[in-house]
Structure 1
Amino acid sequence: MSLRRALPRLQPSLEVPGFLKQSAGLDLPGRLLFATLTLMTLIAILVFIEEAIYIYRKIPSSKRSIIIWINAAAPVISTTSCIGMWVPRSTMFTDYTVAIFFAIVIHKFLMMMIKECGGQKVLLRRFENGHFTITTGPCCCCCLCLPRVPITRQTLFWLKLGTFQFAVFRPVLVFLSIVLWTNGNYVLYNVSPKRPALWISCFIGALTLCALWAVGIMFRKVRILLKCKNIIPKFALYQFIVILNHLQTTIINIFATQKVIPCAPPLSSTARGSYIAQQLLIMEMFLITVISRVVYRRKYHDLEPPECVAEEPGDKKQTPEVILNGAAVEDALPKV
């Protein structure tokens, strides 16, 4: 008898995982929605894997890793959003994972534009007498009085530093935020001047603007030269990811904290706002993943030699682009 009485104490208590509790609390339309969004995430991952294999086989090694990083942005955001949707308590960690990853992607996109021009040395030869127009967004689009900056090795270094600092300091600030959050000192929606969330968010915002400004300056200079490589659609996809992942999520979170998004027990306003943001991101990143496969999978010719390259309107040297058989013909350049 004593052994039988002891048996129940020896049996481990089984707890239902969080994602099973989440699915059990959904009605039929909710389960269909979660299943559909999860399927879209899986398809996005498979599309990216197939695209990464193609890039690894067809793209030169100097550009291979950069293009894979950029193409991975949308699937990674979709995957982390799906995890946050099923496991609500992981939202903070998934959001910070995306923040770190996308900080690296911004730097990679700048490096991709430099690589597509033939590398740093070839880019300096192409725009030997050219200038960077720094009156561009998001920092100085209204400051028309700012002078144009000559394109030199030093100015190119400062542009790369503008995105590199974001890729370095953003993970450090994210790690600091997680440490403060585990100690109860960091609350994302508490914008009191006495709390660290406000100051960390402002510092991250300033670093983000500097990084986006550097990318905008480079894109404004090379958009005509790289038009034959579809740099404009690529930049548009990159901008969509920035807007949807940062601006859209921020607006939804503000609406949730201000109770514009009503609560629906057992979900609070902030929880519903987080669900809405994650579900929208899954659908949007799925579309961007499919479009990116079309844009980046095309085969492009190499650029013309630096001596025959046209400058932007307003520069001194201008040479029309050579068109053969309806496509821009670009001679092969030495690898840098």
Structure 2
Amino acid sequence: MDLLSEGSSEPRILAARHLSGKTLPETNNAVNTTLSCYNYSLTPDVASYVAALGSYAWVTWACAALVLAVICTLYVCTLRAARQHWKMCSSNVAVLVAVYPVVAAASLVAIIVPRACVICEALAQQIVMIALYHFFCMILAECGGQDKLVRMSDETHWQTRVLPCCCWPCCVLPQPLIKARNLTWLRYTILQIPIVQGLIYFVILVLWAEDMSLYLKNYTFIQPLIGFSILFGMWGVIMCVRTVETFGIRPRPRFLAVQLVLLIVKLQYGSVKSVTGYFELPCVMSLHPAVFVNLVQNCVIILEMLVLSLWAQRLYSAAPGKPAAGRGAPPPAPDWKEGFENKSFK
């Protein structure tokens, strides 16, 4: 075996006799590209990211920004309709509908700056948690307030045996009457979601800022706490929805519009993260597979927020209890007001 550049003062490169000087740099570049691609703790900066994507970067950013502008326009149109038809809870509707442009904007930032992916994910999930509490407040406002809900409930019981508790045969929960004290505890059950999730996201961001490997190692152990908080709060929201449906109020389509966003920012994010962990994917355009998968995922999320924004605009374009334009009238709801006024309290 011979040594090339033996008498030179330049940095020496060891190579076999059959390797020529032209193929050696190409081999080194391929090795360096592979090592840089599969180093999971090294996320690309914007300059390297744009250089890897080339012209696709500007096309992707322009299309995503255009869709975000459409979502923001739909948000303004929905707010105008809400001020007309949902005066008693227009502020709650504003927060609920704001979920779609905020999540889409967070996805756009993650598309442009890959290193901000964790921060954008935390922001998207936190806005959904806040929206769940405002959805509960909107139901109370639609019922006329907490005091009126307690008065009109009479002998109505809380529907406690709902998801996720109804899935366990050993989970037998009492069904208490609707009282002010029980309603307060229900409020705390739902209010803990944004508070607990916000604290957990703060810890996650601290771990991520300290070291990416530390964040990845501990993220699995934090997931059970996140899941318990969300399931506990969702149990309260579903229980409230099922209970007020006995009064003729139909909040389930609006709840589904928020619930789908929760599934997107939680289950979809988690499943996409597991793809690169369980499967060996090739590098795409000199990018780590996780970076490219996150790019595709955020583009899909923006399109999903566009579809949900269109649906939300239809949901809030009519007064509560009335069908939106272009939809058939639902079956008549029971007239609980008439029954309540005819009751005797002697």
| Paired residue secondary structure (1:214) | helix
Q: Deviations over 1:83-118 (max 9, x none)?
A: 101111111111111122121111111111111111
Taking the TM superposition and a 5 Å limit, the aligned residue runs for 1:82-161 are: 82-143=108-169, 145-161=172-188
Distance 1:225 1:277, change over 3 A: farther
| Residue matched to 2:309 | 289
Q: Deviations over 1:234-290 (max 9, x none)?
A: 122122111122112211111122226543242222212322221111110111011
Aligned length: 286
| Residue matched to 2:300 | 280
| Residue matched to 1:80 | 106
**Contact 1:263/1:269, CA 8 A, preserved across alignment:** yes
**Contact 1:66/1:111, CA 8 A, preserved across alignment:** yes
Q: Say whether residues 1:48 and 2:75 are aligned partners.
A: yes
* Alpha-carbon distance, 1:220 to partner: 1.1
Taking the TM superposition and a 5 Å limit, the aligned residue runs for 1:63-78 are: 63-78=89-104
| Residue matched to 1:176 | 203
Residue 239 of structure 2, aligned match among 204, 217, 224: 217
TM-score after normalising by structure 1:
0.76
Q: Say whether residues 1:299 and 2:319 are aligned partners.
A: yes
| Residue matched to 2:255 | 235
Q: 1 CA distance for matches of 2:297 and 2:84?
A: 36
Taking the TM superposition and a 5 Å limit, the aligned residue runs for 1:23-42 are: 23-26=50-53, 31-42=58-69
Q: 2 CA distance for matches of 1:149 and 1:57?
A: 36
Q: Structure 1 stretches (4+) deviating beyond 6 angstroms?
A: none
Q: Deviations over 1:280-310 (max 9, x none)?
A: 11110111011101111212369xxxxxxxx
**Contact 1:139/1:210, CA 8 A, preserved across alignment:** no
| Paired residue secondary structure (1:84) | helix
Out of 69-78 and 197-206, give the one that drifted further.
197-206
Question: What code does the residue aligned with 1:208 have?
Answer: I
Q: 2 CA distance for matches of 1:203 and 1:263?
A: 34
Distance 1:23 1:43, change over 3 A: farther
Q: 1 CA distance for matches of 2:172 and 2:227?
A: 25
Q: 2 CA distance for matches of 1:202 and 1:274?
A: 23
Q: Report 1 or 2 for greater relative contact order, CA contacts < 8 Å, sequence distance ≥ 6.
A: 2
* Alpha-carbon distance, 1:174 to partner: 1.4
Q: Deviations over 1:216-247 (max 9, x none)?
A: 111111134354xx522212212211112211
Q: 2 CA distance for matches of 1:205 and 1:298?
A: 35
Any unmatched runs of 5+ in structure 1?
1-16, 303-319, 332-336
Out of 17-26 and 234-243, give the one that drifted further.
17-26
Distance 1:19 1:293, change over 3 A: farther
* Alpha-carbon distance, 1:146 to partner: 3.0
* Alpha-carbon distance, 1:120 to partner: 0.6
Q: Percent identity?
A: 21
**Contact 1:259/1:269, CA 8 A, preserved across alignment:** no
Q: 1 CA distance for matches of 2:49 and 2:211?
A: 26
Residue 202 of structure 1, aligned match among 224, 229, 254: 224
Question: What code does the residue aligned with 2:228 have?
Answer: A
Distance 1:262 1:124, change over 3 A: farther
Aligned alpha-carbon RMSD (Å): 3.0
Q: Deviations over 1:56-109 (max 9, x none)?
A: 46542x412111000111111111001101111111111111122121111111
**Contact 2:121/2:265, CA 8 A, preserved across alignment:** no
Q: 1 CA distance for matches of 2:319 and 2:280?
A: 48
**Contact 1:177/1:186, CA 8 A, preserved across alignment:** no
Out of 270-279 and 211-220, give the one that drifted further.
270-279
**Contact 1:162/1:214, CA 8 A, preserved across alignment:** yes
Any unmatched runs of 5+ in structure 2?
1-43, 323-332, 341-346
* Alpha-carbon distance, 1:23 to partner: 4.4
**Contact 1:139/1:209, CA 8 A, preserved across alignment:** no
